[in-house]
């Protein structure tokens, strides 16, 4: 039996050589658990005469990855094999590879088809000595095996021209792989008079179906994931009930737009009226103009003046509309919930005008107009990297790295590609950036702080205070060099008002805020906005961290990569169980049987049970409280998911009202739920379920309404029992 080497030569198979190659890559791993011979045996089973060494490496990497549930070091070994294989397949010098990419010949037509621009190649070649020496290829071995840009628009105008101009903008942005948030509250409602045609408007739904089809057709970067549009509507719009049905699984196809994402931009007045079950008036923006252009007291005065003048199209009980919102969230996980007045009241861009929407992931809150499309460049900090070996947190290092990120993102604003001129105009005038985080849960675990503990709650505040301080200081230093951003004058920061001042919060004594305020008063800041914790779903996976600000959803989960699916155990838990002599195949099976929870496993000690609670076992009241505490240092907003295993209308209502009263800007990104029974259990119980009496829709609605009303009257009790 022979193998084919990378240069085409044939060589007799030598099993010891396979083991030796794997053994060389095991440096620094725990060899009590990592067995190179076991991987070799699996690779040998896949041998055939004429197999290539590339295929052998791929098989060895995949085999190591499947053993990750035995010990996390197998993930490191899998990555090392894959990276070593990649290194053997590519040239060693960066500038040589860039030349190859530019000189690429399309194999289908034989034509020169450069994969990088000539201008990019020229820059690389002009600086090749510095670039080639700066790239340290051994850092590739730091990855484990499982290893953006966003835009905000408001409608140009409530007209055919305005609607389709905005649609064109969305298509061009989506083509360039941007996620989009669009405010549509200015579009006239169903049945409204159209002077140009002497007819009546069809309302929001047909228009949004056109946007839905554009999202499907113009994907993010060509044959990649579908376009992603989040549509924002204020709840006074006449078409609000139809809007809430657009993502539902049932109903007429022509009344659905399931490829869009839906969000509510909620004024405080609506929440107050739900709380007291007052009437809520639905209006058409064509007949009641300007509601989307004002917020706070100004909005309330204008809205109530339209009510007094009789300019309303329909009156419903506020709780009737609230019920429809909760019903949609229970079925689809959306709409997202953002609070219009908090977003505007606590924005450093409030001097520009009223902010009308957020973005696709609910963490960006920026001003838009018909002439400006808001855009934000993002980066995230891996918070677990600042935990020292002595279990202390290195705030100084965190601030230093934050400053580097600010400088880099600020530079990107000037050299970035903008798919439309309105985005370039907005970004260069206001220069917003968005710094987020990943691995907050990992940092808590490394510090040995349970997620709900007072220590974790304090660290949560200190981390975001540090990031905000470091970002402001770096932006002030940039302003000293280049001047403040164009629209700085009149902003809250220009008046000495920082984000925590808008929350009426006093920062800790970790940093000298008085000195920083004096410095900002002298030089200003270069960037209007700085902090925006985003979901980090992809980047956290590359670094092997838990997502964003989230607790772990499970202690055992499946990772999907191009080569297949692999079961992963929370690496921190696996390490702790291994060190205490508790890790074995039986323990792994127990965790799987408990759906990733360890709370009911008797062999596991209580300190680990506290440390490794999943999000389903953590009070959502604590999650919301921690969101508000960090919110005082977040000048944009944060992607905040709500997790309720079995939601009901009472729990959800309590959750939303608690978040609103805490002053959150984003009350909810997605509602995450889990099935009451897993598929196996459902199969076993199916016959019994058939015998149970079915609850009618009317009875169910009565029960849900009662739970909702109860939660409004007894919010604290419902919140505690519901989470």
Catalytic residues: 359, 361, 363
* Per-residue CA distances from 276 to 318, 603, 712 (Å): 9, 50, 8
**Beta partners for residue 296, in sequence order:** none
Question: Please, are residues 471 and 399 in contact by the beta-carbon 8 Å criterion?
Answer: no
Cα separation of 228 and 139, whole Å? 34
DSSP structural state of residue 42: H
Cα separation of 434 and 363, whole Å? 9
Q: What is the DSSP string of 139-157?
A: GGGGS-TT--EEEEEE-S-
Cα separation of 68 and 60, whole Å? 13
Provide CB contacts within 8 A for 485, sequence distance 6+. Answer: 429, 430, 431, 479, 524, 525, 526, 527, 528
Provide CB contacts within 8 A for 298, sequence distance 6+. Answer: none
**Beta partners for residue 105, in sequence order:** 112
Q: Where are the alpha helices (DSSP H) in 176-250?
A: 204-217, 240-245
Question: Please, are residues 246 and 203 in contact by the beta-carbon 8 Å criterion?
Answer: no
Q: Counting Cβ atoms within 10 Å, is residue 41 exposed (0-12), middle (13-18) or buried (19+)?
A: middle
Per-residue b/e over 463-497, b at no fewer than 16 CB within 10 Å?
A: bbbbbbbbbbbbbbbbbeeeebbebbeebbbbeee
Cα separation of 428 and 388, whole Å? 38
Question: Please, are residues 411 and 467 in contact by the beta-carbon 8 Å criterion?
Answer: no
Cα separation of 363 and 198, whole Å? 41
Structure tokens at 638: 């944060």
Nearest to 183 by CA among 129, 243, 134: 243
DSSP structural state of residue 250: S
Question: Please, are residues 494 and 660 in contact by the beta-carbon 8 Å criterion?
Answer: no
Residue with tokens 């001042």: 501
Radius of gyration of the chain (CA): 28
H or E element in which residue 389 lies: none
């Amino acid at each position: 039996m022979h193998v084919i080497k990378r240069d085409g030569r044939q060589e007799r198979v030598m099993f010891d050589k396979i083991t030796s190659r794997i053994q060389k890559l095991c440096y620094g791993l725990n060899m009590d658990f990592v067995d190179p011979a076991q991987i070799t045996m699996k690779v040998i089973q896949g041998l055939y005469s004429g197999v290539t060494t590339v295929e052998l490496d791929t098989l060895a990497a995949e085999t190591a990855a499947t053993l990750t549930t035995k010990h996390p070091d197998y993930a490191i070994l899998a990555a090392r094999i894959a990276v070593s294989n990649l290194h053997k397949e590519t040239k060693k010098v960066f500038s040589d590879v860039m030349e190859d990419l530019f000189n690429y010949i399309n194999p289908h037509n034989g034509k020169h088809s450069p994969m990088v621009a000539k201008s990019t190649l020229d820059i690389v070649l002009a600086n090749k000595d510095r670039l080639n020496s700066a790239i340290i290829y051994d850092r590739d071995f730091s990855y484990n095996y499982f290893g953006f840009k966003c835009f905000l628009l408001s409608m140009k105008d409530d007209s055919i021209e305005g609607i389709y101009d905005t649609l064109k903008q969305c298509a061009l942005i989506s083509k360039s792989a941007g996620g989009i948030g669009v405010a549509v509250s200015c579009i006239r409602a169903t049945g409204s008079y159209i002077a140009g045609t002497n007819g009546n408007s069809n309302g929001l739904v047909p228009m949004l179906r056109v946007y839905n089809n554009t999202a499907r057709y113009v994907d993010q970067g060509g044959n990649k994931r579908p376009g992603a549009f989040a549509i924002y509507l204020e709840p006074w719009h006449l078409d609000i009930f139809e809007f809430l049905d657009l993502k539902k699984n049932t109903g007429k196809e022509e009344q659905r737009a399931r490829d869009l994402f839906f969000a509510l931009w909620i004024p405080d007045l609506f929440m107050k009226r739900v709380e007291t079950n007052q009437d809520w008036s639905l209006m058409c923006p064509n007949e009641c103009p300007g509601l989307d252009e004002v917020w706070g007291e100004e909005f309330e005065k204008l809205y109530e003046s339209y009510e007094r003048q009789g300019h309303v199209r329909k009156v419903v009980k506020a709780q009737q509309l609230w019920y429809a919102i909760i019903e949609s969230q229970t079925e689809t996980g959306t709409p997202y919930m953002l609070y219009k007045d908090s977003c505007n009241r606590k924005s450093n861009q409030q001097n520009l005008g009223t902010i009308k929407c957020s973005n696709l992931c609910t963490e960006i809150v920026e001003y838009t107009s018909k002439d400006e499309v808001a855009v934000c460049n993002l980066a995230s900090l891996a918070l677990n990297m600042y935990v020292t070996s002595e279990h202390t947190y290195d705030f100084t290092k965190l601030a230093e790295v934050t400053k580097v990120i600010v400088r880099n993102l600020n530079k990107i604003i000037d050299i970035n590609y903008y798919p439309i001129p309105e985005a370039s105009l907005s970004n260069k005038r206001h220069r917003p950036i968005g710094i987020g985080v990943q691995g907050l849960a990992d940092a808590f675990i490394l510090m040995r702080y349970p997620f709900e503990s007072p220590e974790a709650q304090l660290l949560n505040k200190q981390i975001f205070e540090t990031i905000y301080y470091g970002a402001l200081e770096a932006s002030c230093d940039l302003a000293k060099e280049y001047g403040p951003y164009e629209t700085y004058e009149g902003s809250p920061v220009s008046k000495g008002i920082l984000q925590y001042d808008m929350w009426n919060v006093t920062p800790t004594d970790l940093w000298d805020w008085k000195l920083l305020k004096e410095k900002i008063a002298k030089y200003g800041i270069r960037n209007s906005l700085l902090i925006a914790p985003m979901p980090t779903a992809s980047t956290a996976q590359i670094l092997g961290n838990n997502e964003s600000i989230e607790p772990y959803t499970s202690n055992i989960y499946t990772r999907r990569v191009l080569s297949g699916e692999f079961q992963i155990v929370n690496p921190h838990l696996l390490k702790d169980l291994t060190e205490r002599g508790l890790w074995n195949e039986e323990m792994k099976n127990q965790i799987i049987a408990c759906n990733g929870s360890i709370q009911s496993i008797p062999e596991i000690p209580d300190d680990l049970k506290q440390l490794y609670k999943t999000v389903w076992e953590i009070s959502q009241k604590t999650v919301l409280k921690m969101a508000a505490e960090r919110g005082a240092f977040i000048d944009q907003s944060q992607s905040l998911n709500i997790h309720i295993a079995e939601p009901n209308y009472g729990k959800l209502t309590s959750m939303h009202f608690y978040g609103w009263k805490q002053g959150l800007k984003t009350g909810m990104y997605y509602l995450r739920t889990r099935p009451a029974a897993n598929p196996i259990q459902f199969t076993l119980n199916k016959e019994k379920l058939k015998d149970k009496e079915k609850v009618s829709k009317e009875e169910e609605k009565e029960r849900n309404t009662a739970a909702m009303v109860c939660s409004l009257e007894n919010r604290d009790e419902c919140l505690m029992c519901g989470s």
